[in-house]
Amino acid sequence: MKNLRTVFGFHALTVLLRQRPQSVVELYADAARDDVRMRSLLALAAEKSVRVMLADARRLHGLAGSERHQGVVARVEEAPRSTSLDDTLDLVQGPPLVLVLDGIQDPHNLGACLRVADAAGVHAVVAPKDRAVGISATVSKVASGAAESVPYFQVTNLARTLRELKERGLWIVGTDDAGTQSLYAAQLPDALVWVLGAEGEGMRRLTREHCDFLVRIPMQGCVESLNVSVATGIVLFESVRRRTQVQ
């Protein structure tokens, strides 16, 4: 029995058709939509030998569980994922870069974080199984293909996973408004795990205790905090900048 999930939206499905067309079991398109974007997607589906079925808006709403499908919905076979975080990191050449999201429950935030992680070359994203969202159709749409490309692991015991990452030689760095070091002044090792908590609550106490140190993102205006996906982008690309700058 195949494990299927729903993916919708032009960007997410375009990436999927280009990268894993064989995984698309069913592709439904709005019969009433005939514009350049739709014709382009249908042409790509034909090129990849993916059968398209026309449907009305009501049918598409039901398949997607949302009205934000843009007129295209697919049932997709789950991508084969690495059996473990260890297996994934064993294949990394050079210092690993890992993102840990502690308690992110909003699928839009997770999707945006995965998109940033993909762009920054993150090797794995880790989250707890409790109090955290999994990969869903909404996550896939927001991630724009990154939900299929970035290894995402939900672990039973996040504290234990952080200890195991330390044993591999990775440093655990958390972001927190109370951090004693500025992001831009802190000494950041290349083999690094960035830990970000949910908006409002932040990291859980036990997660915080497993961080080697905490940094804060300098804030110049009147707002007290940033959206977690924005903060994720800032810290990940600071790591990218330091890795790629001319020594």
Cα separation, 24 vs 45, whole angstroms: 10
Same domain, 66 and 94: no
Q: pTM for this one?
A: 0.78
Per the listing, tokens 């064989």 go with: 22
Q: Which residue has the higher pLDDT, 245 or 190?
A: 190
Q: Domain tally for the chain?
A: 2
Spatial contact of 24 and 76, defined as CB atoms under 8 Å apart: yes
Choosing from 42, 59, 77, the residue where a domain stops is 77
Of 220 and 187, the structure prediction assigns the larger pLDDT to 187
The boundaries of the domain holding residue 51 are 4-77
In the block, residue with structure tokens 């002044």: 185
How far apart are the C-alpha atoms of 5 and 3, rounded to whole Å? Answer: 7
To the nearest 10 degrees (0 to 180), the angle between helices 36-47 and 10-19 is 20
Same domain, 162 and 90: yes
**CATH for 196:** 3.40.1280.10
- Judging by beta carbons within 10 Å of its beta carbon (0-12, 13-18, 19+), is residue 119 exposed, middle or buried? middle
Using one digit for the tens of pLDDT, what is the confidence trace for 83-114? 689 989 998 988 999 999 998 999 999 999 99
Pairing between β-strand 192-197 and β-strand 171-175 as defined by DSSP bridges:
parallel
Same domain, 65 and 114: no
102 and 197 in contact (C-beta within 8 Å)?
Answer: yes
